[in-house]
Amino acid sequence: MAPLLPDSYLEALYGGRMRPLHSIAMAYVSRLRQMVAARNFDLLWIEKELLPWLPYGMERWFLKSAPPYIVDFDDAWFHHYDRSGWPLVRRLLGSKLDRVMGRAASVTVGNAYLAGRAEAAGARLIEILPTVVDLARYPSDQSQAHRSRADTIQAGSAPLVGWIGSPITDHYLDLIAEPLRRLVSGNEARLCLVGAHQGALGSLAADRQDWHEDTETSRIAAFDIGVMPLADTPWERGKCGYKLIQYMACGKPVVASPVGVNRDIVEHGVNGFLAETPDEWADALRRLAADPDLRRRMGAAGRAKVERCYSLSGTAPRLIRLLRDAASG
Could you read off the pLDDT of 13-26 as tens digits, one per residue?
A: 777 777 778 888 99
Q: Is 4 exposed, middle or buried (0-12, 13-18, 19+ CB in 10 A)?
A: middle
Name beta bridge partners: 46.
Answer: 71
- If asked whether residues 238 and 290 sit together in one domain, one would say yes
Number of domains the chain is built from: 3
Flag the least confident range among 10-19, 213-222, 262-271.
Answer: 10-19
**Given a cut of 90, is residue 225 above it in pLDDT?**
yes
The span from the first CA to the last CA of the chain, in angstroms, equals 22
Contact 131, 74 (CB under 8 A): yes
- If asked whether residues 179 and 117 sit together in one domain, one would say no
Contact 76, 113 (CB under 8 A): yes
> Which has more pLDDT, 150 or 267?
267
- If asked whether residues 271 and 324 sit together in one domain, one would say no
Name beta bridge partners: 163.
Answer: 193
d(CA 111, CA 73): 9
d(CA 137, CA 135): 5
Flag the least confident range among 130-139, 146-155, 271-280, 313-322.
Answer: 146-155
Mean pLDDT to the nearest integer, 154-168: 87
**Given a cut of 80, is residue 260 above it in pLDDT?**
yes
- If asked whether residues 238 and 266 sit together in one domain, one would say yes
The alpha-helical segments, DSSP class H, found in the chain are: 7-14, 21-37, 56-63, 79-82, 87-93, 96-103, 112-120, 144-154, 177-185, 216-221, 234-237, 242-249, 262-265, 278-290, 292-309, 312-328
- Rg, the chain, Cα only: 22
At residue 156, the pLDDT reads: 59
- If asked whether residues 109 and 258 sit together in one domain, one would say no
Which among 134, 300, 143, 160 is positioned nearest to 213, based on CA atoms? Answer: 134
What are the DSSP calls for 216-237, one per residue? HHHHHHT-SEEEE----SHHHH
Q: What is the mean pLDDT of the chain?
A: 92
- If asked whether residues 192 and 81 sit together in one domain, one would say no
Phi then psi dihedrals of residue 266, to 5 deg: -90, 120
**Given a cut of 70, is residue 147 above it in pLDDT?**
no
User: Angle formed by the axes of helices 292-309 and 278-290, to 10°?
Assistant: 110
Q: Domain with 197 in it: what CATH number?
A: 3.40.50.2000
What DSSP character marks residue 215? Answer: T
At residue 154, the pLDDT reads: 52
* 91-124 residue pLDDT tens: 999 999 999 999 999 999 999 999 999 999 999 9
- If asked whether residues 108 and 243 sit together in one domain, one would say no
Q: Which of the four pLDDT bands, split at 50, 70 and 90, describes residue 179?
A: very high
Q: Which residues make Cβ contacts (< 8 Å) with residue 81, sequence separation at least 6?
A: 89, 90, 93, 94, 96, 97
At residue 39, the pLDDT reads: 87
- If asked whether residues 114 and 225 sit together in one domain, one would say no
- If asked whether residues 222 and 303 sit together in one domain, one would say yes
- If asked whether residues 94 and 223 sit together in one domain, one would say no
Task: Enter the pTM of the model.
Answer: 0.92
- If asked whether residues 251 and 288 sit together in one domain, one would say yes
Mean pLDDT to the nearest integer, 135-162: 64
Mean pLDDT to the nearest integer, 204-232: 96
**Given a cut of 50, is residue 211 above it in pLDDT?**
yes
Write the single-letter amino acid at 129.
Answer: L
At residue 11, the pLDDT reads: 77
Q: Count CB-CB contacts under 10 A for residue 147.
A: 11
Domain range for 280 is 135-310
Contact 173, 231 (CB under 8 A): no
* 116-130 residue pLDDT tens: 999 999 999 999 999
